[in-house]
A = this chain, B = another copy of it.
Amino acid sequence: MLKFAQFGAGRIGTIHATNLAAMPNARLVAIVDVNLPAARALAQRCGAQVATTAEVFANPEIDAVIIASSTDTHADLAIAAARSGKAIFCEKPIDLSLKRVDACLAAIKKNPAPFFVAFNRRFDPSFRSLHARLTRGEIGTVEQVIISSRDPALPPIAYLKSSGGQLRDMTIHDFDLARWLLGEEPAELFAYGSCLVDPAVKAIGDTDSLMIVMKTHSGRLCHINNCRRASYGYDQRIEVLGSKGRLIAGNQTATTVERADADAITTDKPLYFFLERYADAYRAELAAFISALENHQPMPVGAHDGRQALVLAEAAIKSLKLGRPIPIP
């Protein structure tokens, strides 16, 4: 039985804590949040105790920590966790600054600890199945990857201001999927960005619409498109063209009900947003972390993956700024 502490009792923290509560081989014992009422409510709901950061790291009974607090705290908490010998399940991104990410990874290298970066989409049942079938060679060699990723609605401008920008906040997930699916590191990328959804986004120097192309050393091609608003719900699709065929993973719907009437055939639109669409993925990623810990296996998504997705986001930011393709270091 693995004992967990969790930093963060917000939206994503609630998901992880309740998922953990339902797992037979792990137990959440401590929750830390500066918002004490939120910490208390979640702790009560999950049979855990409210604790301070210091208490967590001083407690030798705690095997692992879930870092689901605000982004700017991820790196420091990860370093501290490694120092006190605890396994780390860290929400993405490790940090918005590549410099700080590198500092964090260097610190952890001195106190090696299992480090899982929570790129939840890799654990979506459809994406996971698609990847497994790619790996089995079902469509031969990968040649082209197309990722469509659109949020249902523009978040508040206040959120966007502290998000690190669309590329670091939103596309970072797609960069991770692209690396995972291409089977090779991108060697170069080029990005176009626009403000088509709301001029307020432009006013804060960000984009709401993006199209990116990437190329690997062997010439594999990848396209990512993003939009901060899709009136029809959370649009999350992957297409891979291989030498022997094509794999597509599409959206999920609440029901299979189809209506035919005098106008058209009508079916459900996609599930509204990540809480609904990736509910299974959140459960599966935590189970994968626990399974790797229990079986002393390498983490399926690690610190290097967290770093590389940010490297691609940084390159895309540079491409937008300079208006030219950027080689990936």
Determine whether A117 belongs to the interface, using a CB cutoff of 8 Å to chain B. no
Task: Provide the A221-237 mask, 1 if CB < 8 A to any CB of B, else 0.
Answer: 11101010111110100
The stretch that binds B, out of A9-17, A67-75, A244-252, A290-298, is A244-252
A194 touches B211 (CB 8 A): no
Q: How many residues of A contact B (CB 8 A)?
A: 75
10 A-B pairs with least C-beta separation? A194-B219, A245-B261, A232-B260, A126-B255, A250-B256, A246-B260, A211-B221, A129-B255, A264-B266, A126-B256
**B residues near A141, Cβ cutoff 8 Å:** 196
Determine whether A215 belongs to the interface, using a CB cutoff of 8 Å to chain B. yes
Indicate whether A254 sits within 8 Å of B129 (C-beta atoms), given known contacts A195-B219, A268-B264: yes
Copy number of this protein in the oligomer? 4
**B residues near A102, Cβ cutoff 8 Å:** none
Q: Which residues of A contact B (CB under 8 A)?
A: 22, 24, 45, 125-126, 129-130, 133, 138-141, 143-144, 146, 148, 150, 190, 192, 194-197, 209-215, 219-223, 225, 227, 229-233, 235, 239, 241, 243-252, 254-270, 323-325
**B residues near A146, Cβ cutoff 8 Å:** 146, 148, 225
- Separation of A209 and B262 alpha carbons in the complex (Å): 19
Q: Please name 14 pairs of A and B residues whose Cβ atoms are closer than 8 Å in the assembled complex, sorted by A.
A: A125-B254, A143-B194, A190-B325, A209-B221, A211-B221, A212-B213, A245-B260, A247-B257, A252-B256, A263-B269, A264-B266, A265-B266, A323-B325, A325-B325
B223 touches A194 (CB 8 A): no
A244 touches B225 (CB 8 A): no
